Chain A
């Protein structure tokens, strides 16, 4: 366990802490860690992020489930994704590397549920990346509860604009959730409702720092949205997320580089 602690593993809780210097974990450390990963006292090792699939102008809720386990080092995305969804694993891998994280050398399985609904488009990049980050502990497990996520990743970790943010925002609002969307789509999402909580980061690092609490991205929206922000109380939920129950700040994972 000493080795694990040296590598940044919080032994008691089994939280994996990833820092730039330690993102290449040795195999045995990983497997030792994975047995303990997840919520204390539970065997739940699946991170869940909610997003949407489009059916015309309607939105269907989609659950991105990420499972990190020991075994062959593969990265699988299942759940009837099209070519853009299959290719998202390369974008996610590069974006995480660019953000100072790396995919752990483990078996990563991603399921887009419901698995019989065809998924298409590039907006699953961000939920997949956030699911992986939650699964390896780079963002808190509960940070993404009550949030729908939509966005495409660039190889350098920037979050690019996607189509369909307005229907997604309306669907998220109807389901009583907040929305995480690309920065350039923030103004579009803000039309959905004045009460919708919107988080519109420019990059994965900004988002991770926001969850970590070191650099809040509450008002960091593009100007037209910032004007609306006065009315729309953007990010009220994220403020609440900064003080999660039953977990002290010192145990929060030092998620990413603080660039």
Chain B
């Protein structure tokens, strides 16, 4: 999520667990085991709400990934089956951010020390918020960054993020500023409870699909193996044409291609679980983010 200061990026991220489905008993056990080992289970009370971890951007690599003298679980393991929220993403140390790349793919983190070799599960949903540039408001109409042209300011700030990390983000959203007039409008009709019901319905569709395919342990599209994605996200002809054109234009990586397919599948599931159509693929591609941004960051 990229946007000017005060547009509600952090607030949006903090509300995310409220629309996620509750933990299944199996997930609850995994989450509780990690929290128990970390000594974070106060009073023995378990909750089926998904964990939400928001470490400060001064976090070190052992704090985030796990490790230290006792090879304790880090923030990414404590966020297992939940949300890891990194506010002010470019302010994190680049090395710390790049250490997340492997756990994002594998869903677990192996910590190897002289005395220990420990594997912690770490299948988390990464949510990050950032300003478009150091000044904060480069994308605002009529705003001029102080010392340099807006484009250079944006490119410099984005340069702190590595291209491979940005390639792993499925959804890149520009959060527009909220004006006072917007705040005075009546609140939207759809609250967290309604959205939560829609998410739960989509998850049930996915759960039934992977159960029918006999895949144990896969409960959502994100965890599905790449070999399967092309069959379950089989788009129509016009959709495939769009995807082929867009993949060339956006210079999608193989991972990016599969992630677009997964995202389109999820969007179709939110629509009721029918076939993936051209509109779903177009929407998924629109979330990929502009190619020049990835190029500038690389």
Contacts and interface: CB of A to CB of B under 8 A. Distances in A.
B36 A164 contact: yes
Contacts of A189: 44
Which interface residue of B30, B33, B36 has the most chain A CB atoms within 10 A? B36
B116 A166 contact: no
Which interface residue of A57, A120, A162 has the most chain B CB atoms within 10 A? A57
**Range of interface residues on B (Cβ < 8 Å):** 20 to 34
**Range of interface residues on A (Cβ < 8 Å):** 20 to 34
A164 B37 CA distance: 4
Nearest to A121: B70
Given A164-B37, A166-B32, A191-B32, A56 B44 contact: no
Which interface residue of B30, B71, B73, B120 has the most chain A CB atoms within 10 A? B71
B46 interface: yes
Nearest to B34: A57
B45 interface: yes
Contact of B44 (A55, A167, A191): A191
B178 interface: no
A167 B41 contact: no
A48 B191 CA distance: 59
Contact of B41 (A120, A188, A224): A188
Nearest to B66: A56
Interface in B35-81: 36-39, 41, 43-46, 70-71, 73
Contacts of A55: 116, 118
B179 interface: no
A190 B36 CA distance: 13
B197 interface: no
Q: Is the interface of A mostly helix, strand, loop or mixed?
A: helix
Contacts of B41: 166, 188
A224 B120 contact: no
Contact of B119 (A56, A120, A162, A185): A56
A119 to B, nearest CB: 10
Given A56-B37, A163-B38, A166-B33, A190 B118 contact: no
B227 interface: no
Contacts of B119: 56
Contacts of A187: 43-45
Nearest to B80: A57
A118 B114 CA distance: 11
A23 interface: no
A38 to B, nearest CB: 35
A163 B37 contact: yes
A163 B44 contact: no
Nearest to A228: B44
Contacts of A188: 36, 41, 44
A185 B120 contact: no
Which interface residue of B33, B45, B115 has the most chain A CB atoms within 10 A? B33
Nearest to A165: B36
Interface of A: 54-57, 118, 120-121, 162-167, 170, 184-191, 224-225
Given A56-B71, A57-B121, A187-B43, 5 more contacts: A54-B37, A55-B116, A167-B37, A184-B44, A188-B44
